[in-house]
Chains A and B, each alone.
Chain A
Amino acid sequence: MIPLSYYLVLSAILFTIGVVGVLVRRNAIMIFMAIELMLNAVNLSFVAIGKHLDSLDGQVFVFFVMAVAAAEVAVGLAIIVNLSRNKETINVDEINIMKW
């Protein structure tokens, strides 16, 4: 039996790695992957706390988070493809206007 705090610390570490990725990398796709990492860290703590409290609601929430993540990836990657088509870069420092 693994204590709940182990899972929460692991989840916090994964979330922090995702935050570092978003803040440090300049490539839009890399920022997107770091966001996926953060979503997974939160999913892990949902399931761990759900098991700790003898409840399945956490797992149902993870199901919804995955559906939202799939929708987000589809739209986000479409935006990135569109950006690279129009501006020939996906460096977020160079993408600083809303329309062109």
Chain B
Amino acid sequence: MTLFFFLLIAIVTVISAILVIVLRNPIHSALSLVLTFFSIAGLYILLNAQFIAAIQVIVYAGAIMVLFLFVIMLLNLEKEKRVSEKHPLQKAFGVSIALFLLGGIGSIVATGVLYGNMGTETAAKVSAVGNTKAIAGLLFTDWVLPFEITSILLIAAIVGAIVLTKKEL
């Protein structure tokens, strides 16, 4: 049953991801990217990562995609839709390089050389306290310095975005 749900969500994810790069109208691409983000949130639920699934929907499908749609509508990209590719071989080269990359990653996954040190947070232990609480515990103990640096990064991004878009300072 879990496998059935996984395959269903995986097919939706791949099809909507292909639509993102194939559709000509940027608004249609953005909307299918929203669908991709939602189905990836479904995969996080299957992986017992409820907190990540929630912030995937809130941050990615909510905040980031609204920003994208806002900018697409602000720029009025109607005339950009029919831009012809300058380099005729670009598509062929791009796809072949990407398939080469897929072959490389796929061969590493298929040969099964992936290994690592086992952690201590087993599924039973995490579900006893709750996924969000377990992540919060890690975030405010082991990862507290990166967590605080993230706030500086966000401040820098806010200031940068304002400086870039303001016409004259």
Contact = CB atoms under 8 A, between A and B. Distances in A.
Contacts of A20: 21, 94-95, 98
A77 B68 contact: yes
A43 to B, nearest CB: 8
A6 B112 CA distance: 12
Contacts of B49: 47, 50-51, 59, 62
Contacts of A47: 44, 47, 49, 52
B52 A63 contact: yes
Nearest to A84: B75
Contacts of A80: 71, 75
Contacts of B43: 7, 10, 44
Contacts of A60: 135, 138-139, 143
Contacts of A18: 17, 21
Contacts, number: 223
B116 A59 contact: no
A64 B64 CA distance: 15
Interface in A40-84: 40, 43-44, 47-51, 53-57, 59-60, 62-64, 66-75, 77-82, 84
B91 A37 contact: no
Nearest to A80: B71
Contact of A21 (B21, B30, B134, B157): B21
Interface string A1-38: 11011111110111111111101111101101110110
Residue from A7, A21, A56, A90 with most neighbouring chain B CB atoms (10 Å): A56
A32 B72 CA distance: 12
B119 A17 contact: no
A32 B64 CA distance: 11
Contacts of A63: 52, 55, 135, 139
A74 B157 contact: yes
Nearest 7 pairs of A and B residues by beta carbon: A55-B119, A23-B94, A71-B157, A21-B21, A78-B164, A12-B105, A78-B161
Given A30-B29, A60-B143, 7 more contacts: A26-B85, A29-B68, A37-B36, A74-B158, A75-B157, A82-B164, A90-B75
